[in-house]
Amino acid sequence: MPSALTANMMETPVTADFLPLMGTDYVEFYVGNGKQSANFYKNAFGFQSIAYAGPETGMMDRVSYVLRQNQITFVLTTALKMNNPIADHVYKHGDGVKVLALKVEDATDAWKQTTIRGGKSYLEPTTLKDHEGEVVLSGIHTYGDTVHLFVERKNYSGSFMPGFRKWESRSNPTSTGLLYVDHCVGNVGWNQMNPWVKFYEEVMGFRNILSFDDKDISTEYSALMSKVMSNGNGYVKFPINEPAEGKKKSQVEEYLDFYNGEGVQHIAIATHDIIETVTTLQQRGVEFLNIPGSYYETVLERVGKIDEDLEPLQKLGILIDRDDEGYLLQIFSKPMQDRPTLFFEIIQRKGAKSFGKGNFKALFEALEREQDARGNL
């Protein structure tokens, strides 16, 4: 698909902000068991119950649970029957991200602007109404089976959108301090990074703000390349990874094998207090990659002075990096499901606007230890 798109897009000049985005509206996961996933995200991550759709609300083929924490909305959707696109998605990919939904002022215009530039339509502009107002949705395909929905909800006052009912639960675990989606990373196939960079530039008006080649991101064994795409106001950032040749299998290749194609690799979520957030997440059962003690012996020489004590950072496995504007603290979870596919990053930015390039080596060595333990290196 990217090559067909590319041919079409060549003639369209890039113009600034023909697609104004107000941020991530929600992330929808297609999962094998929505009820249990919702419970996990509530109890382990500290999300709250917001809305529900299913047979009781007229949705006969699926159930969806909507959860929220500060500005982050997750939707967990499960098929109720076979021969259903959600069931097929889970059969092929396992649990994973289907929809990266973006908040817009005008979903009809967003669809027009992107499809005339070569975006493949997933959903033509559709108005959903109930007694609390209306939501306009539209959407286009991106890498793999992943889609972007454009969500216009300025005329809606309900809990999520028409078709959903408010979900009041007696179980309301406290927040873990997760604030908003910082960036969402896609893994694409061999030689597909640049076509998808072009897609985000030409179809969605994004800019390539950072690039990492295989010299930046390689260990003794495996490598990858990455380009970070950002929309005009910087609210939405989509890094794109592609595998690179190494002595052994790239972590991106392992993902592609188990996801059966391209898809979302990780979602990075911001916090104002990463030590507090990660301490709570670990206590509630979220597992993170282990970082060797040797990382902490030299890290302060590399990043300079930081506000935090090193000891709790080392105890939790939090990584540190610095750029021209400040520093950042970040940590990566183990995969969220049995397949080695989607994981989360927790990030606290203290001025830095970058993505932790200085940590890539330590991080990828940690990932490779896990990959090796699975026999996939």
Residue ranges in contact with Fe ion by CB under 5 A: 268, 345
Would you state the structure tokens that stand for residue 354, as one six-digit string? 């970058």
User: Containing H/E element for 69?
Assistant: strand 62-69
**CB of 290 vs Fe ion, minimal distance in Å:** 18
**CB of 166 vs Fe ion, minimal distance in Å:** 33
Buried b (16+ CB within 10 A) or exposed e, 133-167: ebbbbbbbbbbbbbbbbbbbbeebebbbbbbbbeb
**CB of 110 vs Fe ion, minimal distance in Å:** 25
State the Cα–Cα distance between residues 47 and 173, nearest whole angstrom. Answer: 7
**CB of 250 vs Fe ion, minimal distance in Å:** 16
**CB of 218 vs Fe ion, minimal distance in Å:** 17
First to last CA, the chain: 29
Q: Which is nearer to Fe ion, 225 or 268 (CB)?
A: 268
CA separation, residue 305 to residues 269, 301, 310, 322 (Å): 24, 9, 10, 10
Q: Which is nearer to Fe ion, 112 or 207 (CB)?
A: 207
**CB of 79 vs Fe ion, minimal distance in Å:** 30
**CB of 196 vs Fe ion, minimal distance in Å:** 16
CB 348 within 8 A of CB 328: yes
Q: Which is nearer to Fe ion, 66 or 268 (CB)?
A: 268
Q: What are phi and psi of 212, to 5 degrees?
A: -130, 130
Q: Which of 349, 326, 189, 207 is nearest to 269 (CA)?
A: 349
**CB of 268 vs Fe ion, minimal distance in Å:** 4
In the 3-class helix/strand/coil scheme, how is 310-353 assigned residue by residue? HHHHHHHCCEEEEECCEEEEEEEECCCCCCCCCEEEEEEEEECC
Q: Which is nearer to Fe ion, 125 or 263 (CB)?
A: 263
Q: Which is nearer to Fe ion, 149 or 331 (CB)?
A: 331
Q: Which is nearer to Fe ion, 29 or 164 (CB)?
A: 29
Locate tokens 């992107």: which residue? Answer: 114
CB 289 within 8 A of CB 303: no
Q: Which is nearer to Fe ion, 47 or 343 (CB)?
A: 343
Q: Which is nearer to Fe ion, 256 or 363 (CB)?
A: 363
What contacts 24+ positions apart, CB below 8 Å, involve 308-317?
308/275, 312/275, 312/279, 313/275, 316/275, 316/278, 316/279, 316/282, 316/288, 317/288, 317/289, 317/290, 317/291
